[in-house]
Amino acid sequence: MTLSINDTHDASLRSWLDSANDVASDFPIQNLPLGRFRGDNTQPWRLGVAIGDKIVDLRMAGLVRSHDVDSVLSADLPARQALRRDLSAGLREGSADRARFGAAMVAQSDVELGLPCDVRDYTDFYTSVHHATTIGKQFRPDTPLLPNYKWVPIGYHGRASSIQPSGVSFRRPNGQLKAPDADTPRLAPCARLDYELELGMIVGRGNASGEPVRITQAEDHVFGLALFNDWSARDIQGWEYQPLGPFLSKNFASTLSPWIVTMEALAPFRAPFTRPKDDPRPLPYLDSPDNRMHGAIDIELEVWLQTAKMRADDHAGERLSCSNYKDAYWTVAQLVAHHTVNGCNLASGDLFGSGTLSGPMPEQGGSLMELSQGGKRALTFANGESRTWLQDGDSIILRAYCQRNGFRRIGFGECRGTVMPAPALV
């Protein structure tokens, strides 16, 4: 694990681009997240970095040779750090390269933002013990956590092809549903549609098949983090998930935010990784002094709901919950170490979902399954509307930011998706 706090993190550092100095901006010069953009759908994707309300085209600025995102993701740590230093130097006040960087800029509002990379493969984990406990209590009140939870990072292989960029709508899924008192299932649109507040971890440098990644080198294989919403059909899930786990309840849509906040940008916001004293200590391959000292990351997370009526009324929406990534039970490094301990080979652009990130308090649930107590408690909003599950026309917006005394606040932008009516039944 390589953490380097240097002059690129200096809170007093200012950019010659005024919008980057706005205290409300998610993208000050201390952030510099990576993403892809294009003018319209007839053009190829270009590689860029967000700064204030603009994007620096990396190729136009002379920082990369092509718009191949894998060449940046898979670069070794010194090359990644050098790119960050060059960007910071060119964007800060007094830079001699202001004209070159200015000529390579476009407004974020003038372009389409896409997936930040081509997602090669996707694994979804279950890293929040608070989420696992709350959901477990709904099914197993006496034993909410299964015996393996505190020993092994639980995950399943998800569907990469249905991961879509922020801002794209998706259709409510159809699937088999079975009421508890019914003799047979039926095919119908999902009636218990839910969101899941997650972070996505983007793999940078892969590993060879058969060669596990040690926990002490694990974070060198992760380029950065983005916001991730793993939409879930709870009624389809309840009928299909045994014995092999999620299938149609999860593979219809997931939403990924457009900007990857790099591990280098997150260096000032690391925190000790701790567990309750009575919990088991991780097995040796999941443990290291560095991971215990600063394996956690202090990221504030928020979920917002904007209904169709709110949108028509120019209402930005209501916040449903907030939580923090430092409360996760497993760290980024532990996920990489466990995923590869059997010899599994990761590749540049692979995505890990953190699983739903809930806090310790009931109001910090990262899904409606928790906040509505499985549909038993409606959430009522200021405009009189209420929800137990998502309705057609609802938008879910995920937001996140890091802040710490002595450092500049940085953000992740937003991850937005809107529910559309289900397709006609076959």
For residue 56, what is the domain's CATH number?
Answer: 2.30.30.230
The reply to whether 88 and 145 lie within a common domain is no
Q: Which one from 67, 130, 131, 339 is the annotated catalytic residue?
A: 131
274 and 216 in a common domain: yes
- What do you get for the CA distance between the two ends of the chain, in Å? 51
| Residue 402 belongs to some domain of the structure | yes
103 & 237 share domain: no
* Rounded-to-integer distance, Cα 381 and Cα 21, Å: 34
Decide which of 85, 113, 141 is a domain's last residue: 113
State residue 426's pLDDT score: 72
Range of the domain at 85: 7-113
Q: Are residues 345 and 372 in the same domain?
A: yes
Residue where one domain finishes, among candidates 113, 147, 180: 113
> In this structure, is residue 1 part of a structural domain?
no
Helix/strand/coil (H/E/C) assignment for every residue in 192-230 = CEECCEEEEEEECCCCCCCCCCCCCCHHHHEEEEEEEEC
* Residues 79, 193 within the same domain: no
Whether 84 and 172 share a structural domain: no
Mean pLDDT by runs of 10 across the 426 residues of the chain is 86 98 98 97 96 98 97 96 98 98 98 97 97 91 92 96 98 96 96 98 98 97 98 96 92 98 98 96 97 97 98 98 98 98 98 98 98 97 98 98 98 98 91
Do 76 and 145 have their domain in common? Answer: no
pLDDT given for residue 415 in this prediction: 98
On whether both 221 and 100 belong to a single domain, the answer is: no
- The tokens of 73 are what? 């993701």
Answer yes or no: do 173 and 69 share one domain: no
Does some domain include residue 248?
Answer: yes
**306 occurs within a structural domain:** yes
pLDDT (0 to 100) of residue 1: 56
Active site residue 131: yes
Total domain count, the chain: 2
Q: Please tell me whether residues 174 and 40 are part of one structural domain.
A: no
Q: What pLDDT is stored for residue 176 in this prediction?
A: 97
Q: What CATH number is given to the structural domain containing 295?
A: 3.90.850.10
Residue 426 lies in a domain: no
How far apart are alpha carbons 351 and 229 in whole angstroms? 13
What are the phi and psi torsion angles at 296 (to 5°)? -85, 160
Residues 127 and 107 in one domain: no
The Cα angle at residue 26 between residues 22 and 29, in degrees rounded to 5: 70
